[in-house]
Amino acid sequence: MPKINQKFVDGAGDPGTYRDDTLAGFCLKVTPGKGWKVYLIDKKPKGWREAVTYTIGRDGDPLEGNRKLTAAKARELAVEVIATYYNKGINPNEAEKDRRRTLQNASAERALKEKLESLTLEAAFEEYKQIRQIKSVSARQYGYVLRTNAHDWLDIPLLNISRDAVLQRFLEIKQDRPGAANNLLRLIGFIWEFAARRYRTPDGKRIFVENPIDVISENKGWNKLEPRSNLISDLQLGKWYQSVLAVQNVTVRNLFLMEIYTGLRANECATLKWSGVDLTLGTIEAQTKRSKTLVLPITTQLRAILLEQESEIERIRTSGLKGSTGKYVFPGDSQDGHVGAAWHTIKQIQQASGVKFSHHVLRRTLATLAGRLEMPDHQINAILNHGPATTAQRHYIVRQAESLREPLQRLNDELDKLMGAKNKNEISTESRTGKKRRDRSITKVSSR
């Protein structure tokens, strides 16, 4: 057996494994083909029946300090590995895997620590919106809640928001706005739980251990809110209607009318697409807040609104005016191309009419009127897209738009009477009846 030194290594050319004559287990392997010269250890760890091969490295491999692996350095490393592992009955390969795994975990923990230090409430909220695919309308509402009630927390790392801080902010807000206090804390709780599931240590342990909003639940401190009951009264409907008709923006004006005639939620109405409008069958399809489809019949009033919107979009297109004229019935300058919430216009109508209202008040107004007309609950639930109340309704009754045509038309006619619109000329007779629009009124509008 040769002594493995640099002279021997440089002269070794025949493929094979050469064992050192002085250090048991220290070997040089010359590979066939490329002729690589690899230093390794091949011996039995103490107490083992089989030998374990451990690769030290290839001759000339770079080392720290601009050095290269030589025969002398390989021998030095072999002595260290044999003393540390082989003589103690340890498999050096498994020990090396553990060492690398420890280094990787340490590196991952450092990276995670740096990430969490920069994971502010605002950054976590942005990730929450993106990964959970929060709808744009909901995202804007959530953002408003945070900016209004916790703007000074947006740049604070999420882990630094304590139970005491949460409780103090909750008590401050609840004095004047108990609903806002509930909304803020629940939103922060959602973001916290999202981060807790997303970020864990390399071995899978939770980093976000205790949700700070639990302090509210533990003390039974959530504000009990009565269901909202505000609506537009019969005596106010006329003033409200006249003020809506005075709105110069045709699309926004028709949006409000569509909402009160159908009971659709603001976003369901704003995102109504022409592909969901069928004037031949007399139906419209709206996407609800749970991404389900609600099909409603087109009443005389709704047909007039749709035809007027069709004309308005054509006017915008032919006039070259700025504004989306694509797939939405109510186009606007929102990011998605449909009309926004129009809060500024709502304030103008409130000032002009003296009637306080919101989008949801229009929905509640229609529902209240339906109850007063003694419409069956299942019809009201179907129009408003509320869940069926009984097992039979949930599993055996299939809702069809045609069954709602007479009830919804009755509701719309009653609204016209209360608003003073039935025998007035605010909406033209041509729009009401579809005369001089015969071609459009019998065609499915699917190209918008």
Per-residue pLDDT at 9: 95
Per-residue pLDDT at 320: 66
Angle at 385 between CA 384 and CA 388, to 5 degrees: 115
Q: Rounded distance, CA 289 to CA 274, Å? A: 19
Q: Rounded distance, CA 26 to CA 19, Å? A: 6
The count of residues in the chain is: 448
Q: Which amino acid is at 297?
A: P
Q: What is the CB neighbour count within 10 angstroms for residue 103?
A: 10
Q: pLDDT tens digit string along 407-438?
A: 999 999 999 999 998 644 444 433 333 433 33
Contacts 24+ apart (CB under 8 A), 129-134: 131/194, 131/198, 132/194
Q: What is the CB neighbour count within 10 angstroms for residue 10?
A: 11
Per-residue pLDDT at 223: 86
Burial of 358 (0-12, 13-18, 19+ CB in 10 A): middle
In 3D space, the residue among 301, 291, 330 whose CA is nearest the CA of residue 434 turns out to be 301
Q: Rounded distance, CA 341 to CA 362, Å? A: 13
How many Å is the Cα radius of gyration of the chain?
A: 37
Residue 285 β-bridge partners: 295
Confirm if 168 and 162 have CB atoms less than 8 A apart.
no
Q: Rounded distance, CA 149 to CA 1, Å? A: 81
Domain 6-90 has CATH 3.30.160: yes
According to DSSP, the β-strands at 16-19 and 26-30 are antiparallel
Per-residue pLDDT at 393: 44
Domain 117-218: top CATH class: mainly alpha
Confirm if 61 and 41 have CB atoms less than 8 A apart.
no
**Which secondary structure element, helix H or strand E, spans residue 18, and what is its range?**
strand 16-19
**Sequence-ordered list of residues with C-beta below 8 angstroms from that of 153, at least 6 positions apart, any chain:** 121, 146, 161, 169
Q: Rounded distance, CA 85 to CA 96, Å? A: 10
Q: Rounded distance, CA 277 to CA 285, Å? A: 6
Domain 234-445 has CATH 1.10.443.10: yes
Read off the tokens for 146. Answer: 């945070």
Q: 66-84: buried (b, 16+ CB within 10 Å) or exposed (e) per residue?
A: eeebbbebbbebbeebbee
Per-residue pLDDT at 116: 81
Q: Rounded distance, CA 184 to CA 190, Å? A: 10
Confirm if 335 and 322 have CB atoms less than 8 A apart.
no
Q: Rounded distance, CA 89 to CA 314, Å? A: 85
Domain ranges of the chain: 6-90, 117-218, 234-445
**Position of tokens 């505000």?**
230
Read off the tokens for 411. Answer: 């509701």
Which regions in the chain score pLDDT beneath 50? Answer: 389, 391-398, 423-448
